[in-house]
């Protein structure tokens, strides 16, 4: 080996070492900003998983700044290649990749003998309208389909930042209406027993879709028989609710990250992120209604026990409002819809987690539904955190509490 080659090798090794030290330092810094309460189930594993995701995000950020690839593209690639496990299809289940009116879907059909028509579930994955795909919830949909004897349709809607609102909701509507129109003829499913559901921002899409269909009152198709909302994101008016304060730094969803996802969904204007977190985007004329619906006094007392400071009323900024105006409409913030719209929604299953910034969104939506005399089934996971469902049956990444979440959905589906 000549001297020049040796120098190149040493230089490359030094560059790699410097890069690794930079990543390790940044990961450590981010981990110091996290706060995992003692009540969280499997705290040690969550620390480890959080560190892994932080490392992926940091490497993606570095590659983005070097103009090698977009940070989000790198995260999608890494998770798909290294953190998502697709197992062989189990006996008793048939899985098919199809397109419903050009929207990609994956259909899970039980193969056991059924007397009459089956029930159905159209499922929308989470991921902040930015991440995840059909594979991310494959194990979840398999389990629900097989254990509840339900035909499940998982929808691959378009993602931000490539596609902004309302593309995601439009795709969910298209796929759902297509399935409702062919459910009996092509899948032996009773179209009057088809629910819609999802996790996190997928639950947002499910709730928004039910409200959209209710407003349009499309008579030629059955209305969804239920909405299944797993730790749903339901409003972007108030990022200072008790659950946002108590769990602002609990992985895997931080308070600032939720605002980031909402803005990516809408238009990608991150310049107003801090303004939205402070609440200066809410017009004065809307504040009375929002304060009534979002008041911490609507929460059961036990959810205030870990502390809550009343956020001072911020001064309204019209420029910020017009930048995110669509985010306060019911198709992005279903919790903020008028009573007349919510009154038309179907029976609801809501699951919340104690250590989740979105906990109060689900509980407050339950309160609005109950106040209007609607049928609500609520399940609360006391040791749960946001995103648990993504780790269901994922090898070394799995969390036992994720089984509790998915099985609660199975139990509810059996009642439809």
Instruction: List pLDDT tens digits, range 102-116.
Output: 999 999 999 998 889
- pLDDT band for position 165 (50/70/90)? very high
- Would you report the helix, strand and coil content of the chain in percent, each value rounded to 5? 50, 15, 35
The C-alpha atoms of residue 56 and residue 203 are separated, in whole angstroms, by: 25
HEC string for 320-384: HHHHHHHHHCCCCCHHHCCHHHHCCCCCEEEEEEEECCCHHHHHHHHHHHHHCCCCEEEEEEEEE
Cα atoms in the Cβ-side hemisphere of radius 13 Å centred on 43: 9
Question: Model confidence over 348-362: pLDDT tens digits?
Answer: 999 999 999 999 999
The CB density around residue 65, as the number of other CB atoms within 10 Å, is 9
Cis peptide before 166 (omega within 30 of 0): yes
The C-alpha atoms of residue 206 and residue 197 are separated, in whole angstroms, by: 5
The C-alpha atoms of residue 224 and residue 110 are separated, in whole angstroms, by: 21
Per-residue confidence (pLDDT) for residue 330, from 0 to 100: 96
Per-residue confidence (pLDDT) for residue 113, from 0 to 100: 84
More confident residue, 231 or 64: 231
Sequence-distant (≥ 6) Cβ neighbours of residue 255 within 8 angstroms: 239, 244, 247, 248, 249, 277, 357
Q: What are the tokens at 247?
A: 């769990």
The C-alpha atoms of residue 278 and residue 280 are separated, in whole angstroms, by: 6
> Which region among 65-69, 179-183, 273-277, 407-411 has the lowest average model confidence (pLDDT)?
65-69
The C-alpha atoms of residue 9 and residue 16 are separated, in whole angstroms, by: 11
Per-residue confidence (pLDDT) for residue 82, from 0 to 100: 86
Per-residue confidence (pLDDT) for residue 55, from 0 to 100: 83
- Indicate the pairing of strand 189-199 with strand 227-230: parallel
The CB density around residue 45, as the number of other CB atoms within 10 Å, is 16
The C-alpha atoms of residue 133 and residue 111 are separated, in whole angstroms, by: 25
Per-residue confidence (pLDDT) for residue 115, from 0 to 100: 85
Are residues 98 and 157 in contact, defined by beta-carbon separation less than 8 angstroms? no
- pLDDT band for position 25 (50/70/90)? low
Mean pLDDT of the chain: 91
Cα atoms in the Cβ-side hemisphere of radius 13 Å centred on 90: 14
Q: Tell me the mean pLDDT in the region 354-383.
A: 97
Can you spell out the DSSP letters for 87-110? PPPPTTEEEEEEEETTEEEEEEEE
Which amino acids are annotated catalytic?
A: 200, 356, 386
Smallest CA-to-CA distance from 202 within 241, 143, 156, 163 is with 156
The C-alpha atoms of residue 270 and residue 276 are separated, in whole angstroms, by: 10
Q: Note the residue count of the chain.
A: 416
- pLDDT band for position 1 (50/70/90)? low
Q: Domain 93-235+327-415 adopts which CATH fold?
A: Rossmann fold (3.40.50)
- pLDDT band for position 334 (50/70/90)? very high
Question: Model confidence over 214-232: pLDDT tens digits?
Answer: 988 767 899 999 999 999 9
Cis peptide before 252 (omega within 30 of 0): yes
Smallest CA-to-CA distance from 108 within 133, 144, 156, 158 is with 144
Give the global pTM.
0.93
Per-residue confidence (pLDDT) for residue 50, from 0 to 100: 84
Residue 20 has pLDDT above 60, yes or no: no
The C-alpha atoms of residue 60 and residue 269 are separated, in whole angstroms, by: 20
The conformation of residue 316, written as its DSSP 8-state character, comes to P
The percentage of the chain sitting over the pLDDT mark of 70, rounded to a whole number, equals 92
Domain spans in the chain, listed from the N-terminal domain onward: 3-83, 93-235+327-415
Look-up of token digits 């990250």:
257
Per the rule left: phi > 0, alpha: psi between -120 and 50, beta: everything else, 229 is beta
Residue 166 has pLDDT above 90, yes or no: yes
Per-residue confidence (pLDDT) for residue 44, from 0 to 100: 85
Q: What are the tokens at 376?
A: 């609500």
């Amino acid at each position: 080996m000549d001297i020049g080659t040796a120098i190149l090798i040493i230089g490359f090794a030094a560059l790699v070492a410097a890069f690794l030290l930079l990543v390790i330092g940044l990961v450590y810094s981010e981990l110091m900003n996290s706060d995992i309460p003692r009540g969280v189930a499997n705290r040690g594993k969550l620390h480890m998983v959080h560190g892994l995701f932080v490392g992926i995000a940091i490497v993606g950020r570095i590659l983005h700044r070097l103009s090698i690839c977009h940070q989000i593209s790198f995260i999608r690639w890494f998770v798909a290649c290294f953190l998502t496990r697709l197992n062989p299809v189990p006996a008793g289940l048939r899985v098919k990749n199809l397109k419903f009116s050009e929207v990609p879907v994956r259909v899970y059909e039980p193969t056991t003998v059924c007397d009459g028509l089956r029930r159905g579930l159209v499922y929308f994955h989470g991921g902040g309208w930015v991440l995840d795909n059909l594979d991310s919830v494959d194990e979840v949909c398999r389990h629900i389909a097989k254990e509840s004897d339900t035909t499940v349709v998982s929808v691959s809607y378009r993602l931000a930042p490539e596609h902004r609102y309302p593309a995601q909701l439009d795709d969910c509507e298209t796929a759902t209406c297509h399935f409702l129109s062919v459910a009996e003829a092509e899948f032996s499913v009773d179209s009057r027993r088809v629910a819609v559901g999802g996790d996190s921002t997928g639950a947002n899409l499910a709730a928004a879709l039910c409200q959209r269909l209710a407003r349009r009152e499309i008579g030629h198709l059955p209305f969804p028989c239920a909405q299944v909302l797993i730790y749903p994101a339901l409003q972007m008016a108030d990022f200072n609710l008790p659950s946002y304060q108590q769990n602002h730094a609990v992985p895997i969803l931080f308070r600032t990250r939720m605002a980031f996802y909402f803005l990516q969904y809408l238009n990608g204007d991150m310049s107003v992120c801090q303004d939205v977190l402070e609440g200066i985007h809410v017009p004065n004329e809307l504040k009375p209604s929002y304060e009534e619906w979002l008041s911490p006094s609507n929460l059961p007392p036990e959810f205030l026990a870990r502390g809550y400071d009343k956020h001072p009323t911020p001064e309204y900024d019209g420029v910020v409002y017009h930048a995110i105006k669509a985010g306060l409409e019911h198709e992005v913030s279903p919790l903020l819809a008028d009573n007349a719209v919510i009154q038309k929604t179907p029976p609801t299953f809501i699951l919340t987690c104690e250590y989740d910034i979105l906990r109060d969104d689900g509980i407050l939506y339950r309160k609005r539904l109950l106040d209007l005399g609607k049928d609500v089934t609520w399940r609360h996971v006391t040791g749960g955190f946001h995103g648990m469902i993504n780790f269901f049956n994922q090898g070394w990444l799995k969390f036992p509490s994720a089984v509790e979440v998915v099985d609660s959905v199975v139990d509810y589906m059996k009642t439809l």
